[in-house]
Amino acid sequence: MTGRRPDPLRAQLGTLATEGFRPELADIDTRPTLDIARAMNEGDRAVPAAVAAQLPRIAAVVDAVAARMARGGRLVYAGAGTAGRLGVLDASECPPTFNADPSQVVGLVAGGADALVRSVEGAEDDTGLAADDLKRLGLTPDDTVVGVSASGRTPYALAAVTYAREGGALTVGLACNTGSALAAAAEHRIEVVVGPEFVTGSTRLKAGTAQKLVLNMISTITMIRLGKTYGNLMVDVRATNDKLRARSHRLVAQATGASEDETAAALEATGGEVKHAVLMLLAGVDAPTAARLLTDHAGYLRAALDAARPG
């Protein structure tokens, strides 16, 4: 009698660190809640160290992305499930944080908008979806596509990177296992190995945390390279609510040491633009001159300041 053939996907998952089983946690459902929380927190401590091991690769990615975005390219994240949602989250935070155009950083999740709030069954296995999503964006060689997948084998993420690379775009594979197909398919590989999860197979946990940290680095440091900050001050913030207007006032005051009245007057003169107000106060120029200097220097505040204060 012939036995059943082993399922290849089950066999593949069995080789992945992210799918591993931690026998020391086999009784967590019987432990006191505080003990469970301590055990989970202890495991999470390994995540920053795993990210740290990949810092040279992350830095190389940032420099490559920033160079392309300076030419008008876009940063595109593509993933399924938790990985895709994290990409959408990171992309959606760039406009309010850095006053970036919403088209500059884009998050694609398998299954589209519905997949942000519920599971869209089978979407991650549909490789045609990834190509269709990227075709709609009109991908160019100045764009970057970051495929995000904890396992490093998710068909949607893998297909996105493959399609993008064939079209000449920069490609990055972000996974949480070594030797992943996703990393092999991309020009740049970032493999943050966090090991087995607290709840076996639930890669929204340590793997998700690692992915969030890396995406934070890619977008934030890229924006720093593009002149979206002044030191560590968020001077390109878009003040769209009371909290952000209050934050804008604080940022101008922190950057310049100006009084309450001086800060308020500069923000009023510039229509609430933090970067313009800082330049006005530090260089002693009016609002139109500040706007011109920033335009002339592609929005880089330090360069505009140097031009306004020669010698």
For residue 273, indicate whether it is catalytic. Answer: no
Residues pairing with 149 in the sheet = 175
Distance of CA 190 to the CA centre of its chain: 13
Q: Are 48 and 79 in contact (CB under 8 A)?
A: no
Catalytic choice (19, 124, 191, 197) = 124
For residue 124, indicate whether it is catalytic. Answer: yes
Give the span between the Cα atoms of 106 and 113, in whole angstroms. 13
Amino acid in position 178: T
Which residue in this structure is represented by tokens 């500040």? 290
Give the span between the Cα atoms of 196 and 2, in whole angstroms. 34
Provide the sign of the torsion angle of the four alpha carbons 168, 88, 218, 242, taken in this order: positive
> Angle 274-283/301-308 helices, nearest 10 degrees?
30
Give the active site residues: 93, 124
